[in-house]
């Protein structure tokens, strides 16, 4: 079992595969990727797994991921929104969170994840 656990919340299977592929290429077997497509699955993963970071689409099966995001923020878990929505759609308490607009660059994804899971970047 790895110490790096990354939650990917995305309901479009092709986009989820793009994100998963980019992160897997960067970290290989060093990271466990938890890929889910619904708010309920995201809530479960966020409460049952110790996460290193998360990448959240805003609109997924079952609604919006804002409650999941608020819980991650409260726990101090780094996360970014990866969404076709606009930053102004995000509730005020979550507006300082990193926002990667779709279509995204895989470099932006891997850059965020690398910074989030690298101990020296957190200090």
Please report whether residue 99 resides in a domain: yes
Please report whether residue 78 resides in a domain: yes
Q: What's the pLDDT at 123? A: 41
Q: What's the pLDDT at 120? A: 57
Q: What's the pLDDT at 99? A: 97
SS3 content of the chain, % helix, strand, coil (to 5): 50, 25, 25
Per-residue pLDDT of the chain (123 residues; tens, 9 = 90+): 568 999 999 999 999 999 999 999 999 899 999 999 999 999 999 998 799 999 999 999 999 999 999 999 999 999 999 999 999 999 999 999 999 999 999 999 999 999 999 875 544
Please report whether residue 123 resides in a domain: no
Please report whether residue 107 resides in a domain: yes
Please report whether residue 46 resides in a domain: yes
Please report whether residue 108 resides in a domain: yes
Distance (Å, rounded) from C-alpha 64 to C-alpha 61?
Answer: 8
Give the structural domain span for 35. Answer: 4-118
Cα dihedral 106→123→79→101 (10° resolution): -40
**CB-side exposure of 67: number of CA atoms within 13 Å?**
12
Rounded to a whole number of angstroms, the distance between the first and last alpha carbons of the chain is: 25
Structural domain count, the chain: 1
Please report whether residue 56 resides in a domain: yes
Which CATH number fits the domain that encloses residue 84?
Answer: 3.40.50.2300
Please report whether residue 72 resides in a domain: yes
The pTM for the full model equals 0.93
């Amino acid at each position: 079992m790895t110490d790096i656990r990354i939650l990917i919340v995305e309901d479009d299977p092709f986009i989820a595969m793009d994100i998963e592929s980019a992160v897997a290429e960067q970290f290989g077997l060093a990271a466990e990727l938890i890929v889910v497509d619904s708010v309920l699955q995201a809530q479960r993963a966020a409460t049952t797994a110790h996460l290193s970071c998360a990448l959240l689409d805003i609109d997924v099966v079952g609604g919006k991921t804002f409650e999941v995001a608020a819980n991650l923020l409260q726990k101090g878990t780094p996360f970014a929104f990866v969404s076709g929505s606009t930053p102004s759609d995000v509730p005020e308490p979550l507006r300082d969170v990193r926002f990667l607009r779709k279509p995204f660059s895989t470099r932006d994804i891997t850059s965020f994840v690398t910074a989030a899971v690298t101990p020296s970047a957190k200090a």
